[in-house]
A and B are shown apart, each in its own frame.
Chain A
């Protein structure tokens, strides 16, 4: 069996490990546009701040490809998919045949058509090279405007501040981190970042990037205000990288449509990770879930099925662990319902900068925010994942010391005693 994997991040690596859990001998050819062995994308901000050294950026040990017998073509770009011929075509023109194909091409940054986008000094922040290039240009006091107060924009901001940059963040929404926090919790995090010197422009965005002689010199905001700056980082968001898919018969919506086996609409072709649209068990529909744990699990599932085993992706949901300047937060699922049928409960401790919120629907936990009160929050994630009816003990869920002691005895012994 000849396997071809396009992509070398969490989903691609998960697929390698999934295939090898079933098939020790089949030939695995893996292609990656970037020249590096698999590294951890979420670590690029840690790399930029200096917290993580180059040798600890890697997602797997140095012998990984050799040990799992993977022919890794790193820095070789795939140009086209010829699914009807069961081959892929490289940018060099070479053709590579496959019996089973995995598309794990991840996401690409959304780059809105802001005038001035082409000036040097304007960049995105997604890859290791992005972080390396940015790092080389930093100097104490450099002025940076970050467009977008999401996860990527704010992790870049934190690293930049640690490198003594002066950062202004422009965000169209009324709050920072709007995908994972509600207004009250976002305000706590915003204040914390402001105390570190970060400036925010909310309900506002960059209307135009200003430059001279091809180089960025500032930005003009939507409200007319102008800010001087030396760099602009575009961090509006990421969408599935469908470049290879558009000219094929593969069905896609926001991302490539997959079933619970991670199989696409074309036989022998699978997709996983940020490029795919898998089942979200909280929203109860297919959604792009661009988070690393999901990518790895989907990749592993795809790999097992590609190799003739049987594995089902039971569905995932949005979840994030993130923190800024020692203020950690864990969030999952629906954190700010916009339709009826939900109950929200909140415990706020402003003195401790802590905020905990749980969201219930029909007796089940469907979302939470745990800001600066993260210990053991995974128990809540587990209750969401296992779709447990929490009605019998819901009054305990917000407690700081919430634990298995609050579970009904039967549920507790079921969870704790038999774990094969």
Chain B
């Protein structure tokens, strides 16, 4: 399956991926300004930029083949789609026990404490595509689309040393 890979050597640490991700998963997925101004709760990104003085890179769910979160989930809310490979959380069934956070070796699952407490994670924009009925989301996740220096790439796999 296609996943998002970060190239830390060209990441500028601008965090635009976080901004666009938060917008895409807000109540106004197509409108950045409304998402941040009109939504009562601050929109939360499902991608995280890690940075220090010299390097930065973005990190989100790796949609692991053997995803520990799906095996550990106590409610059955966290599932890997057998066709698309996307790991997603059924927020109606999630009770916010944080077992997925306990087992995710990438630290890629966040806590959404706004309203009904749920685990929040990258869905490769698949839900956004469903909700907005716009195809552009399903083709390439918004973080990748809006990365100004192409530090985020959406591809099948990355082989060491290959561009």
A interface with B by C-beta (< 8 Å): 14, 40, 42-43, 46, 51-52, 56, 58-61, 292-293, 296-297, 300, 319-323, 328, 330, 332, 374-379, 381-383, 385-386, 403-405, 413, 415-420
- The reply on B62 being an interface residue by CB < 8 A is yes
Contact among A43, A323, A332, A376 for B107, CB-based, below 8 A: A376
The 6 closest A-B pairs by CB, nearest first: A382-B105, A376-B107, A293-B72, A378-B104, A405-B50, A321-B99
Interface residues on B, range: 35 or more
- The reply on B41 being an interface residue by CB < 8 A is no
B interface with A by C-beta (< 8 Å): 3, 5-6, 48, 50-52, 55-57, 59, 62, 64-65, 68, 71-72, 74-76, 92-93, 95, 97-107, 109-111, 157-160
Contact among B57, B74, B98 for A323, CB-based, below 8 A: B98
Contact among B6, B95, B111 for A416, CB-based, below 8 A: B6
Bound complex: CA of A56 vs CA of B74, how far in Å?
Answer: 12
Q: Smallest CB-CB separation from A413: which chain B residue?
A: B160
Chain B residues with Cβ under 8 A from A43's Cβ? 74-75, 95
Main secondary structure of the interface of A (DSSP, over half): mixed
Do A59 and B105 touch (CB < 8 A)? no
Chain B residues with Cβ under 8 A from A328's Cβ? 98
Q: When A332-B102, A375-B111 are in contact, do A405 and B55 touch as well, CB less than 8 Å?
A: yes
Q: Smallest CB-CB separation from B54: which chain A residue?
A: A405
Given A292-B99, A378-B104, A381-B103, 8 more contacts at CB 8 Å? A43-B75, A292-B74, A403-B59, A403-B107, A404-B59, A404-B106, A416-B62, A420-B157
Do B97 and A418 touch (CB < 8 A)? no
Do A419 and B3 touch (CB < 8 A)? yes
Do B97 and A321 touch (CB < 8 A)? yes
Do A321 and B98 touch (CB < 8 A)? yes
Q: When A297-B71, A417-B158, A420-B157 are in contact, do A405 and B51 touch as well, CB less than 8 Å?
A: yes
Q: Please, could you name 29 A-B residue pairs with CB atoms under 8 Å apart, sorted by A? A: A40-B74, A40-B75, A40-B76, A43-B74, A46-B95, A56-B92, A59-B75, A293-B99, A293-B103, A300-B71, A319-B103, A320-B102, A321-B99, A321-B101, A322-B97, A374-B101, A374-B111, A375-B110, A378-B105, A378-B106, A379-B106, A383-B105, A405-B50, A405-B55, A405-B57, A413-B160, A417-B158, A417-B160, A418-B159
How close is A18's CB to chain B, nearest CB, in angstroms?
11
Do B65 and A420 touch (CB < 8 A)? yes
Bound complex: CA of A386 vs CA of B75, how far in Å?
Answer: 26
Do A377 and B102 touch (CB < 8 A)? yes
Bound complex: CA of A51 vs CA of B97, how far in Å?
Answer: 12
Bound complex: CA of A58 vs CA of B90, how far in Å?
Answer: 13
How close is A98's CB to chain B, nearest CB, in angstroms?
26
Q: When A60-B76, A292-B74 are in contact, do A403 and B103 touch as well, CB less than 8 Å?
A: no
How close is A67's CB to chain B, nearest CB, in angstroms?
11
Bound complex: CA of A383 vs CA of B104, how far in Å?
Answer: 11
How close is B116's CB to chain A, nearest CB, in angstroms?
10
Q: When A376-B107, A403-B50, A420-B157 are in contact, do A319 and B74 touch as well, CB less than 8 Å?
A: no
Bound complex: CA of A341 vs CA of B6, how far in Å?
Answer: 39
Bound complex: CA of A43 vs CA of B51, how far in Å?
Answer: 38
